[in-house]
Chain A
Amino acid sequence: MFKYLFAKNEDIPAGSAAVFFGFSSIIWFIIGTGLGSFNAAKLAFPDFVTGSYMFAFGHMRQVHVMAVIFGWISMAFAMAFMYITPALGNTKLWSEKLGVWTCFNWNAGLSVALCLMWAGVTSGREYTDFPWPIDLIILFAVLLPLGINVWMTIVHRKTQGIYTTNWFFGSAVFMLMIVVLVGNLPEYFSLTGLTEAYLTWWHAHNILGLWITPVAAAIAYYTVPKITGNPLYSHRIGHLHFWSVVVFYSTPGAHHLMSSPLPEWLKSFASVEGVLILVPAIAFVSNLLLTMTGKWHYFVDNIEIRFTISGVMLAIPLNMQGGFQQTRAINWYVHGTGWIVAHAHLALLGFSTFLEAAAVYYGLQTILRRKLYSLALANFHFWFLLIGFATYWISITIAGLIQGAAKIYEVPYIDVVIAEHPYMIARWVGGTMVFTGNVVWLYNMWMTARAGTPVPVGRLPHEIAYER
């Protein structure tokens, strides 16, 4: 990688940035889930690595969250930007060199930022825990170059129209930049009180709603038609999805603070808008499942489609939860319990991760022009992820319902802690499975790059998956 930082743009092989981003994302995935599993162990067994400043739960938790969101998920997105955007525009990436630099800045910046946060340097605001100078560095050294590359590639496309995926890509980077800029206002200007609390959640909500959800969906809009060979079921529904994300998904930030003393109109508004998130959600899920028509065998025998469609199917319970758990009728029961943690993992570890994993699998094979090293290991990865995630989700959902019941019956808190204990252990087991699966994945992808069978010119990797 380093040798390309100072090479001429023309000398850098096409796809290099995507490959670097791909491998970086897998490595961050391992780091992030490793930290998650470590934290889960601490919640299950509080005397596991105890009494040290660095390894305290309160120092490690946010490092896990930021590592998975900005290391794994967002870098996998960047990888998708780097190879899908040009592919859909029938052109090359605008600047391969800028892409490599973005990747370098991102890895270096994130490592420094996470180490600082680990050491206790934090703004104390969930999901924008990095102090604002770091946020600004991320904004200008990472997101801006990333955005420029995507936008310029779209502008220089050789097709007339712009495919759905690229609308999402181009606008999501832009929206992310706005969200990071505005979400940190309380830190630049030391805003206080409810303004600060509200902006914290406005930011958190929009990171999820205007970055993670739409980009993950956009990736599926590419992988499913590409691999199955079916055209997208409906571009109109794609339009509906896009516009309803912008209009509905950007508004219910306050639903994270339903039990706080925010103005009542704001909470009611957020709760109604939150239900409307079902519009983009249903548009997306139905569009993709209908695209699969006639090609459902891929769900069984193709690993990328299996990942993608599992992710799409996980979006169904996800959005059912998301649409309704933030209404006043339900929120009072589940707010602040493990239910929400389970929901967060359903969104990020279930829905989104599965779609990105497919993109990374597919991208690395197409760019490197090599067939997957081992389909068996890929299957192992899939099942470990799915079973591990399901164990996590089910156990913490149950724990959350116990907490909710205990909350309304005013049970002494320590009884809740005791009742949750078995589920905490189950979560740790499930999470550790995910982590193990990822280590195997890195090995598989590394061996693919090193020793995978070359894909002949004119063929696609998934076509020859079962040929020797």
Chain B
Amino acid sequence: MAFREYKIGTRMFGIALGGSMMITLYMPSLSIYSVGVTETGLVKGLSYGHNSGFSYEDPFLQGKGKPLTVTVKKDPVTGDDIDPVSAYVYKAGTPFPSAIRNPNILGKAVQALSAEDGQVGEAVESDGAVFLVSRGDYEGETFPYIENVTATRKWTADAVLTAAADTDKHHVGSGKTMFIREGCWWCHTLLPEQTQDWQYFGLPPRLGDFNGEAPTAFGSDRKAPDLLHVGSRNSSKEWMMMHFFNPRLVQPHSIMPRFDYLWGEVDANDNDIDFDQWRTDYKEYAAGNSIYPPVVPNYAPNSEIRYLMDFVLSLK
């Protein structure tokens, strides 16, 4: 390396690469960091949990260690009827989301409100906690913030879960994991584009809509409709169920794969699902030999398809 030119060259290389990283990493991170979270962002962060991809608690992406989104209709402490609210329930030991762990990603106002009015600092992971998205005033403006109702209203995770019916519990967090694992985002995007297609697919997301969500899984090449607002286009559980079991049942031209294997072994009544029989019947139907398609089995309450459906229907 004794050549003097190479010393200069190496230094210039360092400066060039360092400068490039300064502009493309450091400066954007300052810009992005200064963005305050929106209500949508809070809801996503709280309902998806800590990380929907590979993580310690869920290395095989089975939807473990994720919070539940529960529609609370009765105050779990007093038993009085209340206006339904969505509560994000973290059972004891469920990893808290980034919004709680690193509240500085929320932006100044939301962070301050969550700490003071929401008492999020008191939440302890090993005891579990219940969070709501509430609204409060900060320096004369209204902001959403995270309320730790375990501290403010004594709603414990267990109490909320016991009081709620199974139909009011939504496995949105585990479903997001299914969405990642099953690669839905190789065909579907979660990002209506800013330029054009929002008339069809709905509002493009805003700057603060993702703080706290990981991975974002926007999807890069789209072979299917954008799903960011699919729940408000189509909220029919029956349609979704048939569509996931075999998309060709409801949309003969679809290229979406069948996700029947997410049903698992048994249906809602604990009976074994006979996939071979179903496929044989379906072939008959597809060939025009029978008029009705075989019936899609109801899924078991703890099946992976339940998680996925809860997630997809939560995309409003």
Contact = CB atoms under 8 A, between A and B. Distances in A.
A259 B257 contact: no
B282 to A, nearest CB: 10
B260 A124 contact: no
A407 B197 contact: yes
Interface in A243-262: 243, 246-247, 250-251, 253-254, 256-257, 259-262
- Which one of A43, A131, A260 has the greatest number of beta carbons of chain B within 10 Å? A260
Nearest to A185: B25
A193 B35 CA distance: 11
A58 B13 CA distance: 40
Interface stretch (B66-74, B84-92, B132-140, B177-185): B177-185
Contact of A58 (B1, B184, B195): B184
Interface residues of A, number: 83
Contact of A182 (B3, B9, B25): B25
Interface stretch (B45-53, B112-120, B155-163): B45-53
B214 interface: yes
A62 B13 contact: no
Nearest to B260: A51
B154 interface: no
Interface in B188-202: 189, 191, 193-197, 199-200
Given A243-B16, A407-B197, A51 B275 contact: yes
A261 B258 contact: no
Q: Mostly helix, strand, loop or mixed at chain A's interface?
A: helix
Contacts of A175: 17
B224 A121 contact: no
A287 to B, nearest CB: 19
Contacts of A202: 24-25
B255 A43 contact: yes
A456 interface: no
Contacts of B204: 259, 261
Contacts of B12: 243
Contacts of B17: 175, 178, 246, 250
A417 interface: yes
A58 B182 contact: yes
Nearest to B30: A263
A175 B21 CA distance: 11
A448 B151 CA distance: 74
Interface string B23-59: 1110111011101000001000100001111100001
Interface in A157-208: 160-162, 167, 171, 175, 178, 182, 186-187, 190-200, 202
B121 interface: no
B7 interface: no
A52 B260 CA distance: 8
Contact of B28 (A56, A254, A340): A254
B162 to A, nearest CB: 31
A298 interface: no
A108 interface: no
B251 interface: yes
A178 B29 CA distance: 18
B285 interface: no
B307 interface: no
A353 to B, nearest CB: 20
> In this complex, which of A124, A132, A403, A413 has the most chain B Cβ atoms within 10 angstroms of its Cβ?
A124
B218 interface: yes
Contacts of B175: none
A53 interface: yes
B259 to A, nearest CB: 8
B174 interface: no
Contacts of B35: 194
Contacts of A279: none
B274 to A, nearest CB: 13
B196 A51 contact: no
A192 B193 contact: no
B213 interface: yes
A427 to B, nearest CB: 12
Contacts of B256: 46
A196 to B, nearest CB: 5
Given A121-B60, A407-B196, A414-B251, A46 B257 contact: yes
B183 A61 contact: yes
B112 to A, nearest CB: 19
Nearest to A45: B255
Nearest to A65: B186
Contacts of A197: 210, 215-216, 218
B61 A193 contact: no
Contacts of B222: 336-337, 403
A228 B275 CA distance: 62
Contact of B105 (A47, A122, A193): A193
Nearest to B17: A246
Nearest to B52: A124
Given A193-B210, A407-B196, A413 B225 contact: yes
B13 A171 contact: yes
A132 B56 CA distance: 11
Given A61-B186, A192-B105, A337-B221, A121 B61 contact: yes
A247 B299 CA distance: 55
Contacts of A336: 189, 193, 219-222
B207 A194 contact: yes
A440 interface: no
Interface string B215-255: 11111111111000000000000000000000110010111
Interface in A399-424: 403, 407-408, 410, 413-414, 417-418, 420-421, 424
A260 B258 contact: no
Interface string A195-237: 1111110100000000000000000000000000000000000
A124 B248 CA distance: 27
A124 B221 contact: no
B211 interface: yes
Interface string B248-286: 100101111111110000000000000100010000000
24 contacts: A51-B275, A56-B261, A58-B181, A59-B183, A120-B182, A121-B59, A124-B52, A124-B181, A131-B53, A131-B59, A171-B13, A192-B98, A193-B105, A193-B214, A263-B32, A332-B196, A337-B221, A407-B193, A407-B196, A407-B197, A413-B225, A414-B251, A417-B223, A420-B223
- 6 cross-chain pairs, A with B, having the tightest CB-CB distances, nearest first: A58-B183, A131-B54, A193-B210, A124-B53, A259-B193, A332-B195
